[in-house]
């Protein structure tokens, strides 16, 4: 009897967390491109100071 209670409780907990994750994914909104300075960021320090960060400057972007 005791084992089944723990198994049922665990199964319900897993099901609830799975449902919560699915709802979170479906309610997510798309990010606006260029909002809050994410596009055309101006570099403030270094050898590329006062230049706009784009594909030419950023090496990590492929």
52 Cβ neighbours under 8 A, 6+ residues apart: 40, 41, 42, 43
> What is the model's pLDDT at position 60?
57
DSSP 51: -
Q: What is the per-residue pLDDT for 25?
A: 83
pTM confidence score: 0.42
pLDDT tens-digit map of 12-59: 999 999 999 988 888 877 766 666 656 677 788 888 788 887 766 666
Question: What is the reported pLDDT for 45?
Answer: 85
Sign of the Cα pseudo-torsion (48, 53, 55, 58, in order): positive
Is the pLDDT at 62 greater than 60, yes or no? Answer: no
pLDDT at 28: 75
Q: Which backbone phi and psi does 30 adopt, to 5 degrees? A: -75, 150
Q: How far apart are CA 49 and CA 62, in angstroms?
A: 22
């Amino acid at each position: 009897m005791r084992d089944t209670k723990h198994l049922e409780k665990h199964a319900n907990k897993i099901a609830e967390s799975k449902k919560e994750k699915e709802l979170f994914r479906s309610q997510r909104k798309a990010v606006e491109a260029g909002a809050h300075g994410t596009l055309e960021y101006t570099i403030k320090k270094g050898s590329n100071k006062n230049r706009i960060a784009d594909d030419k400057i950023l090496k990590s972007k492929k």
